[in-house]
Every structure is written in C-alpha cells, then in structure tokens.
C-alpha cells in the first residue's frame, strides 16, 4: 500500500510541481501549504520508495528530500532518483557536518538545507534551482574548447572521443567556464549563476566541484591543461593548451 500523503486537488494549481519527501505529517502538511501559497503545486511522500515511484510517475520540477526516512536512507533515495532523472534535488537534514554535505552533493543533490530552517529560505532555494535549471542566454548550443565539445541542449560533453560522465553541477560549471574561455570567471559569478546569488553556505563547495571536474578531465591543478586557478579571483578555462601558438576555440553553430 502506498504511503503517499493525500493531497486536496479541488483547486488546480499551475505552478511548478514540488515533491516533498517527509514522513512527519506535522512538518509535511504545513510546509506543503506554504509551498502552495508561494505558487507551487505540492506532492507529498512519506517513504523513500514512494518518492522514487512518484518522481518517475509525476516528474516533479524539484524534489525536497528528507534524509531521515522510515524505509530507506535518503542518500540511497537520492542515488536512485539521480540514476534515472535530472530533476533538481534539495536535501533536508538535521546534520550540518561538511562531510555530510559533500557526500550529498557527490550523490547528485543540487542543494542542502540544514534543519531547523525557515520556509522562506527553502522556497528561495527552490526558486533558484528552477531558475538555473539550464544555463540560458544567447549562446551557441555547441561549444568547443581545445578537445572539449559540449552540447548544452543535450547536456552532454566529450573530451576527444570519450564522453564525460558529469554531474549536473560539474556540467553547469564547465559550460559557464567554456562560454568565457580565456577569461577569468570569478568565484562570486560561479556561485551566483551555478548555485544561487542567495547561497547560504561556504564557497568551499565550489572548490570541491572544481576538483571533481578536474579529475574527470584528467587535469591536475598543479599543471592544468584546461582549468587554471586565479588565486583569490576565480577560474579560467584555457582556450588552448599551454605552449600552443594559436587559439583552438571554435564554437560550432
């Protein structure tokens, strides 16, 4: 039997659909009401299995995922959802430890909120992940820098002939750097556009994701071929390999 919490659908709501995964009714129902007042639709699930099934069936725009569920660890739920969906996931947890935050992000979460939290903070984060869902703008769909090729529409990237297995944030970072290859993109710009201008946490998460991206590019920070750090400022995606005589960036249209 499903343990999804029933929703009153008497008044259809055209807003983005938020799946709130929380087993405590005393938290879930007032939170769902606040989401609806803010213009969202709300679907509630009380277990991890229901969250996975509802994500597949209802295709929500955002998943708010409590980690303390009665049947599955929330991190397992995150991993299983991410294996088949790119839906933004915001983790809700009582632990603020850096290691837990990093683990959640590594599993594919887009954001991390520590309890107790203000409803307006979570709504701000939902709005942010929806806004940045795909980095927009008047840019070519295909970006080519050195031997990197990026298809922003399909959200796929290749190094030479090998496709890169990038998380959502790693891909967005690579796209943001590639769009200004050869120029420094500041830490503040990356946090604002890839995360959120209202980001509440440490910029350490940016360094963590840049490190993961470098590993997938086989690009050691000590002798970078692709991503160079400009200390105290930000990062630059080099348009040519060190020592090359001419530019190699040629965005395809």
Q: Residue 224 CB: number of other CB atoms within 10 A? A: 18
Q: Residue 160 CB: number of other CB atoms within 10 A? A: 9
pTM to 2 decimals? Answer: 0.58
Residue 140: pLDDT band (50, 70, 90) is: low
pLDDT (tens digit per residue) in 196-211: 555 555 567 889 899 9
36: Cα within 13 Å, side-chain hemisphere: 17
| Mean pLDDT to the nearest integer, 162-166 | 94
Which range, 154-158, 164-168, 210-214, is most confident? 210-214
- Which pLDDT belongs to residue 248? 41
| Mean pLDDT to the nearest integer, 65-94 | 89
Which domains can be identified in the chain, with CATH numbers? 17-131 (3.40.50.2300), 142-237 (1.10.10.10)
Q: Helix (H, G, I), strand (E, B), or coil: what is residue 137?
A: coil
- Above 60 in pLDDT, residue 189? yes
- Above 50 in pLDDT, residue 30? yes
- Above 60 in pLDDT, residue 19? yes
- Which pLDDT belongs to residue 9? 43
- Above 70 in pLDDT, residue 92? yes
**How far is residue 241's CA from residue 132's CA, in Å, rounded to a whole number?**
30
More confident residue, 205 or 132: 205
| Mean pLDDT to the nearest integer, 126-142 | 66
């Amino acid at each position: 039997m499903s343990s999804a919490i029933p929703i009153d659908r008497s008044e259809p709501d055209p807003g983005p659909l938020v799946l709130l995964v929380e087993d405590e009714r005393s938290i879930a129902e007032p939170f769902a009401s606040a989401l609806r007042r803010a213009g969202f639709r709300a679907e509630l699930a009380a277990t991890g299995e229901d969250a996975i099934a509802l994500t597949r069936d209802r295709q929500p725009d955002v998943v708010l995922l409590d980690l303390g569920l009665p049947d599955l660890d929330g991190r397992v739920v995150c991993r299983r959802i991410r294996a088949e969906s790119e839906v933004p996931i915001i983790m809700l947890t009582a632990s603020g430890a850096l290691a837990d935050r990093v683990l959640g992000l590594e599993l594919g979460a887009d954001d991390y909120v520590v309890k107790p939290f203000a409803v307006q903070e979570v709504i701000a984060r939902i709005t942010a992940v929806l806004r940045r869902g795909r980095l927009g703008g008047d840019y070519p769909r295909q970006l080519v820098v050195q031997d990197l090729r990026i298809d922003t529409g399909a959200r796929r990237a290749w190094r030479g002939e090998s496709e890169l297995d990038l998380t959502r944030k790693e891909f967005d970072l690579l796209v943001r750097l590639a769009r200004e290859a050869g120029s420094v993109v500041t830490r503040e710009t990356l946090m604002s556009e890839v995360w959120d201008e209202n980001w509440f946490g440490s910029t350490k998460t940016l360094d963590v994701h840049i490190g993961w991206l470098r590993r997938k590019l086989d690009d050691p920070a000590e002798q970078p071929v692709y991503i160079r750090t400009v200390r105290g400022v930000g990062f630059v995606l080099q348009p040519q390999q060190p020592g090359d005589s001419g530019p190699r960036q040629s965005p395809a249209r």
